[in-house]
Amino acid sequence: MTFCESLQQNRTWLLFSLLLVAVLYRGVVPDMVRQWYEDPNYSHGFVVPLLASFFLYERRAELAEAQVASWWPGFLVVILGVGQLLLGWLATEYFTMRSSLVVILAGLTLFFFGRRLFRLMLLPLAYLVFMVPLPYIIYDTVAFPLKLFVTKASIGFLKLCGVVVLREGNVIQLPSTTLEVADACSGIRSLISLIALAVAYSFFIRLTTARRVVLVLAAIPIAVAANALRVIGTGFLAQYWGARAAEGFFHEFAGLAVFAVAMVLMVSLGTFLSRGSGRSL
């Protein structure tokens, strides 16, 4: 039985299952979308489902012709996802609740269509994990050492350029003003978005698995280096043009410019890695 035939045959149960999922997540998903809108760290969440849909669209021919068969252990995966949702709700742990949606969708795919089709659906399903905001305990664990590293690197460069500067933790003291390297300047914000985009980009340009890993891992130093440039630029402006020059419009513009620079670096690296790579999606 092909995928299209299976959809036709099981459309009633599929619609019923999706309706149950919608009921279960009627409060979870809207709350997650609200965080995408309110928290700049996760604004990329709006793009993730669109990219996952594009991955499905790219494989539409393979999906339509794939031979499928129901695989009953997939129902156990669905039960596992529901249990994860329940545990997250009892513990008020949003990441557990939100990520359980991906588990349930994976389980439904396995149950209705089997393992062969699941392999074709694996990338779109797994990519949905990027839309789930990280727990704050993990976010803070990563953000704090990044802040210190970016601060140290920026201080070292400023001193090499003759700027009189001192550091106290993540605070940079200049003769005319004091700057604090906040979470937004640590690179964590652009790091999360850049990794999600690097994964998508690595499949768009059809890299081999090894080169995809290189490109995705490269997003980490690219994001950190770009944000260090932001702090360095802010330090130069504050030193030679005063604190006001480093605030307001420049501060907001610098955030966009930093991400643009990181994207250019990632695209350049991807172009270099794609030479001689003919692997398809």
What pLDDT does 251 receive? 61
Does the structure show a pLDDT above 50 at 274?
A: yes
Does the structure show a pLDDT above 50 at 109?
A: yes
Averaged pLDDT score across all residues of the chain: 84
45 or 40: which leads in pLDDT = 45
Query: Among 3-7, 42-46, 92-96, 192-196, whose mean pLDDT is lowest?
Result: 3-7
Vertex 165: Cα angle to 160 and 171 (nearest 5): 120
171 or 92: which leads in pLDDT = 92
For residue 75, which of 119, 24, 17 has the smallest C-alpha distance?
Answer: 17
Tens digit of pLDDT for each residue in 220-264?
899 888 888 888 877 777 777 766 655 655 666 666 777 888 889
Q: Per residue, what are the HEC states of the chain?
A: CEHHHHHHHCHHHHHHHHHHHHHHCCCHHHHHHHHHHHCHHHHHHHCHHHHHHHHHHHCHHHHHHCECCCCCHHHHHHHHHHHHHHHHHHHCCHHHHHHHHHHHHHHHHHHHHHHHHHHHHHHHHHHHHHHCCCCHHHHHHHHHHHHHHHHHHHHHHHHHCCCCCEEECCEEECCCCEEECCHHHHCHHHHHHHHHHHHHHHHHCCCCHHHHHHHHHHHHHHHHHHHHHHHHHHHHHHHHHCHHHHCCHHHHHHHHHHHHHHHHHHHHHHHHHCCCCCCCC
Of 54-68, 111-125, 147-161, highest mean pLDDT: 111-125
Strand bridging mode 178-180 / 166-168 = unpaired
Does the structure show a pLDDT above 80 at 173?
A: no
Q: How confident is the model at residue 214 (pLDDT cuts 50, 70, 90)?
A: very high
Hey, where are the domains in the chain? Answer: 3-131, 138-273
What pLDDT does 280 receive? 42
Q: What percent of the chain has pLDDT over 90?
A: 35
Task: Decide if 150 contacts 231 (C-beta within 8 A).
Answer: yes
Does the structure show a pLDDT above 80 at 204?
A: yes
What's the rounded Cα separation, in Å, for the pair 80 and 269? 39
What pLDDT does 253 receive? 67
Greatest extent of the chain over all pairs of C-alpha atoms, in Å: 74
